[in-house]
Structure 1
């Protein structure tokens, strides 16, 4: 976090905060949408938390498949705190702002959890492949060590992708509009606001997405 703040201070951007437009500006839709997304947010948090506790407490679920499901639930649980609270605030606040540092932090964790989830799903697909195609070798191939390495690699790749995205985003200059036509700090809405070249950022985005597709 301190490194991100330091990079933000060194950025050439004259924008110190962004305004998030949210999903809608129609007053009659804000309360129903707030209730809908709050209900969905609560269900997501409680559902994933319950699944995590169940897998931890039930020794019969200490298998490779449920190990991956455990990690997937942890990612979904953490991911729900990245964007949803700020989105809910957009329904009740007249002006929903986020600082430059806060925006870059949100972007980092968004990229980290999304990328990590893709790699975890790939690991789960490999686990099912071994279980179906090589059932006699399943316990050997999907040993606790291999499962741990797969998860470590998933989080490491997710972290690397998030650092690259965020690092190149911080280097951009934002000197004109600070209004993000979105409910969160996402990559392409931010690129649209930049007053400097975004070619490298677009190239990085293509490379990261291409890597995920190839490995998946």
Structure 2
């Protein structure tokens, strides 16, 4: 499979176009959480929640070709084949079980949407899917999906706006907590976003 290389600024511009194509207020309005699940559906992509693996190793998968996917049946404790259409994002159902996983759930959704936007032409017709796997060595395609997913969930214009609104009188840790709450992302994701843009 051939890789496509995107510079960071190009990914930021793609995120802006994706957000403004859905609702320009997400980029230019008041800082708020991006409705990522609704945005996925607006792209004509189905969102399904299944246990993808017994051990939770796969958090999300983007399906580019119709076929069967192995999912784990928790009730019967066995793997079963599940029919999926092209243009489906599968999210591991374990991410829906705890409020503490909200940030990870939303980031996984954004990461998989990024695969659909960036890599659809690369994967379609290959029979392969793009999967977000915990503790994997990152390929260029996974890095791109992470970067675009971050830029969609935490639009840089909104991050800067929120940062300058909230920073007065707050220590870095409190600022990260408060901004993570506004955008409904994990503290780690917010810290990385702020650090990468030299705001911390």
Instruction: Report the TM-score when normalising by structure 2.
Output: 0.30
Larger radius of gyration between Structure 1 and Structure 2 = 1
Looking at secondary structure, tell me which structure has more strand per residue: 2
Looking at secondary structure, tell me which structure has more helix per residue: 1
Higher relative contact order, chain-length normalized (CA < 8 Å, sep 6+): 1
Instruction: Report the TM-score when normalising by structure 1.
Output: 0.29
